[in-house]
Amino acid sequence: MGQPGRGPEAAARATATAGLHGSASTWVFNIVRELLTASLGPDKVLSFYADDPAVFPSEVAQAGRHLVVKFHFGGPALDDWLTAQSVPVVLSLRDPRDAVISMALRFRAPLAAATQWVANDCNAFARLAARGHPVLRYENRFFDQPRTIALLAAQLGLPCDLDLRDRLFARYEAEAVKEFAAGLENLPPERQTLVAGHRMDRLTQILAPHIGDGRSGKWRDLPEAVGAELTQVFEPFLKRFGYTA
């Protein structure tokens, strides 16, 4: 990633954030987006979700702006684009079993569907982690620590004084996000969209059922046989990234 202090003018033309569903990946996306916006100005930053460059905004929309791309599972085309453009990527990680339970509970999804979503995320994460991109681990509660914001700013070569750090931390603290998510219908219509039947803010990517209980190890509440099956599905990933299988 960028060297501390190199400044926004020397930064890459794009920055990406990726992680497992339920890994506080939206927190990471918004902190990165806000840091770039504070440094470059709101008209110079274009942020969006995309797993494939084919669905990026038009080149006219991109012109003269720094892209902030959020994704989960990506694919070969996005991998190639990230490499060709030398895009810094910030990764977020969580025990995939907890990520599955989080998605199933928040979005009332069948366990099998949530498992497939997270399995796709794991494939992308493993590819990207192998390239040496920095990783934020959910179990370390990075999203509860203001210093994470300063760390991200330093990694991206962006300024971040204490006032900006504290404002961003307060804006994306869990209770503040819950309150924001509860009022999505009050946003301007152009900022609202539906994702799988749930209201979402296009700018922040925050969904109505956005915040769960944040608990780690919740997969252990499953019936023993179900937990064992989930562990078996993710066993290679769990071992590779230091989780108890």
pLDDT band at 113 (very low <50, low <70, confident <90, very high): very high
Could you tell me the residue ranges of all domains in the chain? 8-240
Q: Is the dihedral of CA 90, 94, 97, 102 positive or negative?
A: negative
Give the pLDDT mean for 139-150: 97
The pLDDT tens digits of the residues spanning 74-109 come to: 999 999 999 999 999 999 999 999 999 998 988 888
Which CATH number is associated with domain 8-240? 3.40.50.300
Which pLDDT does position 196 carry in this prediction?
75
Share of the chain above pLDDT 90, in %: 84
Give the mean pLDDT of 156-185: 95
Q: What pLDDT does 159 receive? A: 96
| Assessment of whether the complete model's pTM goes beyond 0.85 | yes
pLDDT at residue 153 tops 50: yes
State yes or no: pLDDT of 143 exceeds 50.
yes
Closest CA to 125 of 236, 225, 12: 236
The residue behind tokens 């996005």 is 78
Phi-psi region of 41 (alpha: psi -120 to 50; beta: other; left: phi over 0): left
pLDDT tier for residue 210 given thresholds of 50, 70 and 90: low
Mean pLDDT computed over 189-209: 88
What is the reported pLDDT for 165? 98
**Residue 70: pLDDT band with limits 50, 70, 90:** very high
Has residue 197 got a pLDDT over 60?
A: yes
CA 159 to chain CA centroid, nearest Å: 21
pLDDT band at 212 (very low <50, low <70, confident <90, very high): low
Say if residues 23 and 100 touch (Cβ distance below 8 Å).
Answer: no
Q: State the Cα–Cα distance between residues 159 and 224, nearest whole angstrom.
A: 48
